[in-house]
Structure 1
């Protein structure tokens, strides 16, 4: 094991054992390196690495602190990696969405109240057949985000948001090239809301699978050059 990796693991252990918690300040570099039996240079590299993935916050002239360790903060690195993927890899991202979002819909079915359902219906009603592709994409993002948020799992929310952001271009392409994309999207969204309203987790889950699979199927045809009008 590289010395820097060892330093990272030792700092991680300090956090896991509760010796260091969110917002705590790390001991000075010299003290920490002596305490852990590591060189100051390896400790410095470890701190830099943990700063990149938002575990530590280095404040010049003040010290190094453990961040809030909130999911959205810690998963920023994943968002960066996802954004680097090319269009061929986006099919794999859709496959992950097809696994995660139906689960989120099932969880949301037990948590959405009357106001939450009303807000979802209002989002669907706000889109018209004459709406632009950009407006449809904005609605789609807002609709899915509201359901995921209602699931009540912050890690799940952040994971899905990082995947959804990268798939915007696919949604735009679909809107530009596929007939009846707006009507189809709104119809599928309405059906999902109906299932959520009656609290049918299995139905909401199945409808979300079908909804995402439709875009995934279109994208696969597009990347293979076999796209045909439905």
Structure 2
């Protein structure tokens, strides 16, 4: 029994130490830009493992030097309630769970042990910055905890700034400046409304859309986003 209690105590201590490490890293981001994210490093390692030449194009730019069109387009496309919520949209998480459960039922399987969809910008940032790419319930729980930490330690503007500077926009293309240069040969601050909308609709599957830039689906989504992104509220 003592051995079991000692083991449990070690597990609890390790968990607390990990959470403290995460919180300290997030707190530091109030003034320091992250040099890389867990997601970015995993992509580079994948390239190295496949013997492909590593690609990593990224350049940090301050919030004020990113086109307002792009900010509004990304918020409208990814998380229209970004300014109002506290890091998690519980209604969206519930709908995502129900959707996964229905898919599992149609496949004659048990309810899935993972949740897809329903993530806010804050949750996406928490996942990409600090967590692995697996989609288990345990990792999802950790993502929620880190999302709350991000919202309490950083401003909404800082969260969006870090997100826009690190999100993937193609194979080895990370952040708004790299994306603007890669797709439009201009700086992030010079993007037009249509260019910004096109970049924003790529975010769910940037590497796929990078290979199919003339996709009719991409063009239709861009037009739809252009019609509503002006109403998006920015921090």
Q: Same fold (TM over 0.5)?
A: no
- Normalized against structure 1, the TM-score is what? 0.29
Higher relative contact order (CA 8 A, sep 6+): 2
Report which of the two has the higher share of helix. Answer: 1
